[in-house]
Structure 1
Amino acid sequence: MAKILAVGEIAGGVLRKASRETTSVGKKLGSVSTVLIGSGAAAGAAEVAKHGADTVYVGEIATYNGEAYAKAIADLVKAKGYEVVILPHSWIGRDISARIATLLNTGVISDAVDISMDGDRVKIRKPVYSGKAFVSLKVKASPQVVTIRPNAHPIAESAGAGAVENITVDAGAAKAKQVKFEAKSGSRVSLTEADIVVSGGRGIKGPENFPLIEQLADILGAGVGATRAVVDAGWCDHTLQIGQTGQTVSPKLYVAVGISGAIQHMAGMGSSKYIVAINKDADAPIFKVSTYGIVDDLFNVLPPLKEELKAALGK
C-alpha cells in the first residue's frame, strides 16, 4: 500500500475544502497522512482526521511563505518516506508543488481531474489543449508529486481519529521575506470552493451591468467569475478571472452569462458538472459544451430568472 502525504490548506483556523479533498483522494490511493501549515493549523486537525488521515502533521506559521512551507513538507517526505504527495491545484498548491519537487529532485503533474494507482505508480487524467482533450499520464519519478483540481473529487468520511504531530516551519530561514499581505474581503464563497459559479462575459456590455451577475450569484449562494475580456476592460476585479490565465474552477453548476466561449475561458471551467449558458448568439461556442442553453438577450432573461429563483428558494 502506497504511503501518501496529502497537503491541506488552513488560515486563521478555518479549514479549506481542498484539505478534505486531498485527504480523501489520498485515502483512496493508500495509507494517507495530512500536513496542515498555517495560522491556527491545530484547529483543523480533528476535521482532517475524519476524512481518513492516519496522522495529521501541524505546522504553525503566522503568514504565508511558500519557501518555508515547501521546505517543511519536503523534509517531512524525506524523513517519513512518503511515496506520493498530493496538493490542491490552488494558488498555494501551484506555488509550493514545484518548490517541493525541486527539493526532492523529482517532477510535478498538475491539475488532475482523476487519479488512481497502477501498481506502485500514480496514474492521472488531466485536461490538455485548453480543455479540448484529456490525457492519461503515469508518474515515473519518485517521490511522485501531483496537484488535483478543486471540486473534481469526492469527499469521503472516515470513522478514524488520526494522531496529531507538530512540525517546525522556519520562516526565518527563507530567503524571501513577506513585505505585505492584502486579504480580499467579502462574504461570497471562494471561486475554487464554490459548488455554483455565475460568470459574466462581454455580453453584459459594461461595468454598470456587472451587478446583474453578482445579484444572480447571491440568490444562488454562488461564487462570482468573469472572462478575461471583462477583467481587461476593468469591469470587475482581476481576482474573478476564470480561464487559462486566471482561475480554474470545477463547480457542480456553472452559469455562463453573455459568454461566447473562447477556448481560453473554457480551459478554466470545462470540467464543471453542469453548464448553463445564456447568450443571444445561437452559434456561440459555449453552447457546444453546455448542458442547457438559453438563446436570448441576457437582459431579457436575467430579470424574470432572478424572480423565479427567489420565489423557488424562498428569498
Structure 2
Amino acid sequence: MTGRGLVLLLPGQGSQYQGMAVELYEREPVFATVADEFFAAMGPEGKLVRNDWLSDTPGVPIDDGTRAQPLLFIIGYAIGTVLHSRGLQPVRLIGHSVGELAAAALAGVFDLPAAGRILAARSRVLAGAPAGGMLAVAAAPATVEAVVDPVWAAKGLVVGAVNAPAQTILTGPEPELSLVEEALWTAGLTSRRVRSAQPFHSPVLNAAADVFEQAVAAERLRPPRIPITSAWTGRPVESADGLRPAFWARQMAEPVRFWEAVSSLPDDGEFTMVEAGPGNLLSVIARRHPSVRARRSEVFGLLPTEGKAAWPVWLAGLEKLAEQSISPRGSQNCSAR
C-alpha cells in the first residue's frame, strides 16, 4: 500500500475569529516558538498583533486585515511546522489568499524572518487601503456578475474569488458593495458579508499591491521545495514563479480561484486534506472533490469553528493523522493535473 498524500489547505481572510489557536500557542511548544520568532521579526507591529490576539478586548478588531492577515499566516505556518516535526510532510500546499504566503514560507520560498518583514509590510499597506469589504454569494460567477451594475464594476466591484461552482465572492469599495448587496437580495440571491474590513482581490488594491511588491522584492526568494498549487492561477507554482516578487504580492488585488486549485488534484487520487487554520471553510469546499465523495480521500480541520475549544479538536486531528497511512511522498496519483 502506497499510502495517502497529505495536502495542507491554508485559509485566508474570513476564517479568522478572536482567540483562534491561542490554546495551541499556550500548550504546543513548537507552535509557540515559531509564533514568537515571527512576531519578533515583524518588529514593533508584531508585539501589537500578538497582544491583540491574546486579548479579550483587542485594540484593533480581528476582522481588520492588519490583524487577521498576519495571524492567519502564522497559524497556518506554525501548524505546518508542528506537523513536519512529527514526520508529516505534505505532498502539496494550497493556500487561499494570505494562506498562499503561508504555503510559500512552508515550501521555503522565503524564511520565517523574511516572512515577518513581509507580513509587517502587508499590514502597513493595508492600513492605508480604501474602505470596502467582501460579500459571499450562493451562486455561480456569471449569475452574480449579471447583477453588478457596470458603473459599480468600473469603480472596482468585481468577482474576487470563486470558491466552488456556486460559491462566489464579490469584493470592492463602499458604497458600491452595499448597493450590490441590496440588488442581490432583490434578485433572490442569498449573500452574506465576509469578515473583512478591506476589499481584498479587487483592483482598488492595485496601488497597495505595488507597494507591497517592493517589500517582497527586498527579500531573498527561492524556488518552492514542496509543491504548491496557486489559488491565484489555479496551477502549480513553477520555480520561476517562486522567484518573482510580483507573484506573491499581486494576489492581494487579483481573483482567487480556490475551486480550480482544489479541482486540479486528480479525481482518482488518494489524499488526506487537512485544513491548517481556523474556521473549516476550506474543508467544506474540499469535501466536494470527487475523490472525497468516492471515499478515497478524507478532509478534516485541525482547529474548530468559533466558540469551541481548540485543544480537543487539535488532539483529535493529530490522532486521526497518526492512525492513517500517510505516505512521505504521497500516492502515485497525488500529483496535481
* Both structures adopt the same fold (TM-score exceeding 0.5): no
**Richer in helix (by share):** 2
Please tell me whether Structure 1 or Structure 2 has the larger radius of gyration of its CA atoms.
1
**Richer in strand (by share):** 1
* TM-score normalised by length of structure 1: 0.30
* TM-score normalised by length of structure 2: 0.28
